[in-house]
């Protein structure tokens, strides 16, 4: 029988998961004055500390080859994999669902492609336009201020293109095109096909104390100059700096607990280092894993 070790502190909010959703929730809530505890199933990982962007494959005994925990290469900025020992993932018989399961602070924000697009006005009105699904109860104009706020916070490069359903944002200048990109652009221009720079959450100018991209091309290893967006560097560090965030790593959420009224009372979790079961108390729980 596992003995649960309860905590005395009652937090305003308990967040499970530290990636794009959990990290942003921690950032916004601590700035608003809430006392927050953040549970992360994996270990601590900060690109400015843990990245091996500038190492050569020959510096590793494995020559950079993949491992079970790093299927895309030993130096890839991810602890996790398609299958994690001790954490079964079930699928329907005869089917296979390949879902990457990061186990690290910041989750998949450490190694995603950083493509940062907005929903356009048409995307909120699909039933009206296509006859399928449902229209959103809100419009692009309702969320535009929040898109703008995100652009200012994380930094996104791109170019204004004024296409009907591809809203322009607040952009850093895009990198200069490479030779093959110029050839593609010339061909597209001849065929009257719009060809525009990608929109990525990578900064090309100094931004909020972060250094601009230096074009080394090793983004998947994590960026030690903090030039691309990741939750630990851009969201969690500022949240910790408020003094209102407690970060608990190696904390595998097991159960959302409820009080005698049936209302949420916190989260029971397993300390994956010791196997001990613990409990944090909170008035609100955000599930973002």
Residue-wise pLDDT for 71-128, tens only, equals 777 777 777 777 777 777 778 888 887 777 888 999 989 888 899 999 999 999 999 9
Give the tokens for residue 68: 């079970």
Q: Provide CB contacts within 8 A for 43, sequence distance 6+.
A: 79, 103, 104, 105, 249, 250
The pTM for the full model equals: 0.89
Tell me which range, 34-38, 99-103, 108-112, 194-198, is most confidently predicted by mean pLDDT: 34-38
Of residues 79 and 146, the one with the higher pLDDT is 146
- 157-188 pLDDT, tens digit per residue, is 999 998 889 999 999 999 999 999 999 999 99
Give the tokens for residue 250: 């190696």
Are 105 and 232 in contact by the 8 Å Cβ rule? The answer is yes
Backbone CA torsion sign across 113, 148, 288, 225:
positive
Segments making up each domain of the chain, as ranges: 1-89+97-114+222-289, 115-201
pLDDT at residue number 6: 58
- 269-278 pLDDT, tens digit per residue, is 999 999 999 9
Give the tokens for residue 186: 């010339």
Angle at 215 between CA 213 and CA 219, to 5 degrees: 80
CATH number of the domain located at residue range(s) 1-89+97-114+222-289 in this protein: 3.50.50.60
Name beta bridge partners: 239. none
pLDDT level of residue 5 (50, 70, 90 thresholds): low
Give the tokens for residue 94: 């005869």
pLDDT > 60? residue 3: no
- 199-220 pLDDT, tens digit per residue, is 999 999 999 999 999 998 888 8
Of residues 168 and 51, the one with the higher pLDDT is 168
Task: Give the mean pLDDT of the chain.
Answer: 91
State the average pLDDT over residues 188-192. Answer: 97
pLDDT at residue number 261: 96
pLDDT at residue number 1: 46
């Amino acid at each position: 029988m596992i003995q649960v070790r309860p905590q005395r502190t009652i937090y305003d909010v308990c967040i499970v998961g530290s990636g794009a959703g959990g990290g942003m929730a921690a950032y916004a809530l601590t700035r608003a004055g809430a006392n927050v505890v953040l549970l992360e199933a994996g270990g601590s990982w900060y690109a400015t500390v843990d990245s091996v962007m500038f190492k050569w494959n020959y510096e590793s005994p494995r020559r950079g080859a993949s491992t079970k925990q790093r299927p895309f290469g030993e130096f890839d900025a991810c602890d996790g994999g398609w299958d994690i020992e001790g954490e079964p993932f079930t699928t329907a018989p005869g089917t296979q669902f390949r879902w990457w399961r990061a186990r690290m602070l910041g989750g998949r924000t450490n190694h995603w492609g950083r493509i940062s697009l907005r929903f356009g006005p048409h995307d909120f009105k699909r039933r009206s336009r296509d006859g399928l699904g449902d229209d959103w109860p809100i419009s692009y104009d309702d969320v535009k201020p929040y898109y703008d706020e995100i652009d200012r916070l994380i930094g996104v490069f791109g170019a204004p293109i004024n296409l009907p359903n591809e809203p322009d944002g607040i952009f850093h200048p895009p990198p200069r095109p490479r030779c093959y990109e110029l050839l593609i652009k010339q061909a597209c221009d001849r065929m009257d096909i719009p060809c525009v720079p990608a929109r990525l959450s990578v900064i090309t100018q100094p931004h909020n104390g972060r250094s601009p991209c230096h074009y080394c091309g090793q983004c998947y290893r994590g960026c030690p100059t903090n030039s691309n967006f990741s939750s630990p560097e851009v969201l969690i560090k500022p949240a910790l700096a408020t003094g209102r965030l407690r970060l608990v790593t190696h904390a595998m959420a097991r159960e959302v607990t409820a009080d005698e009224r049936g209302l949420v009372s916190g989260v029971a979790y397993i300390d994956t280092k010791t196997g001990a079961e613990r409990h944090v108390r909170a008035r609100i729980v955000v599930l973002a894993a």
